[in-house]
Amino acid sequence: MGAKVDHSINSGLGPYIFKISGQVHHLMGSLLPLEGECPKFAQLYIYDTHNETMNRLNAVNCEQQNEKLDEDIVQGLIRMFDESNELTDDGKQYEQPTCDEIGGLVVGDIGLFDSNRDIVVELQAGELKRITKLNPKFMSFQYPILFPYGEDGYRPDLKWSNDYKGHEPKRGRVPMRAFIAYQIQERGPLLDTLLKGGRLFQQFLVDSYATLEEDRLDYIRKNQKNLRSEIYKGIYDAISKGDSDANNVGQKVILPSSYTGSTRYMLNNYQDAMAICRHYGNPDLFITFICNVKWPEIVRELDTKPGYKGEDKPDLISRVFKMKLDDMISYIKSGEVFGEVEAGEFYQLIISAILNFLDFLNDNKTY
């Protein structure tokens, strides 16, 4: 996974957090490591395959020997993938090269924009196939340790179960967000290898969210005509921005107000919040509600799972936080502490909209 990882967020004493910014991408380096550097990533498949285990250990810590790394565990993982994972290549097909020269071929213009990560696999029939983020095997290729058997992930034609009791969308298929939410829930005695991934599980969640957002943006980009964006294009948008130079006017991708975090989303919420303030008056409370991983509910649940830390269970943390937040909101709106609430249905919208708009102005100072 290639992304701009923010390591500074873990400089304090809080729990580990995996945070990225920008677009998720795939970095393609040289086929052979540079002089003085250890092989890593795809280089491990073609460089000194006789010492595969040590090369993998050195890729994690090249400068000095890390005594915490167990060679037997790495060898066991390699054997497990060869025996159990249906996506693992046949070892006979990729044995030690018979010559010292290796050639590679890059096809296509890498300067063209495409949100899909460039993953190419070789089928058993000998043909090459490019894997997109909507392929059922996409996450199994990305995280073989979390999906040791090469399990299927999300695909666009996934249908709802006949036993499903919830609200079913009009399209009749499972959206990506619903599938990911289902995938990360604990289900009794089932083998939840994914949920035992620790920090790698955090990276998987971030990667899944980025994939979800990329899919939404791809849909918006390809359906501009169906989103009623004609009035925002050309001269109208240029005038609203204050552009007087015709050379600055071009075709743009318009994000609808339904896209969380977009400019129109924040402006719409801000205008709605101001309308509520004009009718009911200014908000009386400004409350910041944060989560404490030492809450007794979280500690009690972690005690039933030896070896886990709070940072290893973001799914548990988020659920407890949501339940406590809803409970606090219900308590405030009950009238027991502050009396009758005049705009109880809208005060959350007011707070979030104002904060979002202030963040928007801070990030776009030329607006």
Cα 209 from chain centre:
3
| Helix/strand/coil percent split, the chain, to 5 | 45, 5, 50
Average pLDDT of the chain, as a whole number = 75
Higher pLDDT among residues 174 and 168, named by residue = 174
Q: How far apart are CA 29 and CA 43, in angstroms?
A: 9
Give residue for tokens 């970095």: 27
Number of CB atoms found within 10 A of residue 274's CB: 14
Average pLDDT of the residues in 171-176: 82
* Unique residue bearing structure tokens 């790698």: 200
Q: Is the pLDDT of residue 336 over 50?
A: yes
* Concatenated DSSP letters of 298-309: HHHHHHTSTT--
Q: Which helix (H) or strand (E) holds 3?
A: strand 2-5
Residues 195 and 270: their CA atoms lie apart, in Å, by: 38
Name residue 302's amino acid: L
Rounded distance, CA 185 to CA 193, Å?
12
pLDDT score recorded for residue 337: 83
Question: Comparing C-alpha atoms, which of 232, 278, 274, 272 is closest to residue 252?
Answer: 232
What digits encode the pLDDT tens for the residues 75-117? 888 888 888 888 876 555 555 555 555 555 555 544 444 555 5
HSE-up (13 A, CA, CB side) for residue 99: 3
Give SS3 for 62: coil
Is the per-residue pLDDT at 136 higher than 90?
Answer: no
Residue range 137-145: mean pLDDT, rounded: 86
The pair of structure tokens assigned to 203 is 């990276």
Task: Identify residue 16 by its one-letter amino acid code.
Answer: Y
Q: Is the pLDDT of residue 144 over 70?
A: yes
Rounded mean pLDDT of 144-168? 83
Cβ–Cβ < 8 Å for 223, 259: no
How far from the centroid of its chain's Cα atoms is residue 111's Cα?
A: 24
- Give the type of residue at 208: S
Mean pLDDT of 225-251: 57
pLDDT tens-digit readout, 20-79:
887 777 666 666 777 777 777 767 766 666 677 777 887 776 666 556 778 888 888 888
Question: Nearest-CA neighbor of 135 among 260, 123, 29?
Answer: 123
| Angle at the Cα of 332 from the Cα atoms of 327 and 335, rounded to 5 degrees | 125
Residue 349, burial from CB neighbour count under 10 angstroms (0-12, 13-18, 19+): middle
Query: Could you identify the residue written with the tokens 């973001």?
Result: 314
Residue percentage of the chain with pLDDT more than 70: 68
Compute the half-sphere exposure of residue 39: CA atoms within 13 Å on the CB side of its CA.
Answer: 16
> Which one has a higher pLDDT value, 365 or 28?
28
What is the full DSSP assignment across 281-296? -S-S--------TT-H
Contacts of 1 (CB under 8 A, 6+ apart): 24, 26, 142, 203, 207
Higher pLDDT, 66 or 338: 338
Q: How far apart are CA 91 and CA 71, in angstroms?
A: 20
Q: How confident is the model at residue 292 (pLDDT cuts 50, 70, 90)?
A: confident
**pLDDT at 168 (0 to 100):** 66
Nearest partner of 345 among 323, 324, 330, judged by Cα: 330
Residue of 237 and 364 predicted with greater confidence: 237
pLDDT value at residue 324:
92
Which one, of 154, 175, 153, lies nearest residue 166 by Cα? 175
| pLDDT at residue 118, as a whole number | 58
Whether pTM > 0.85 for this model: the answer is no
SS3 state of residue 317: helix
How far is Cα 205 from Cα 184, in angstroms, rounded to an integer? 9
| Whether pLDDT at 296 is above 90 | yes
Which pLDDT score is estimated for 365? 42
pLDDT of residue 88: 76
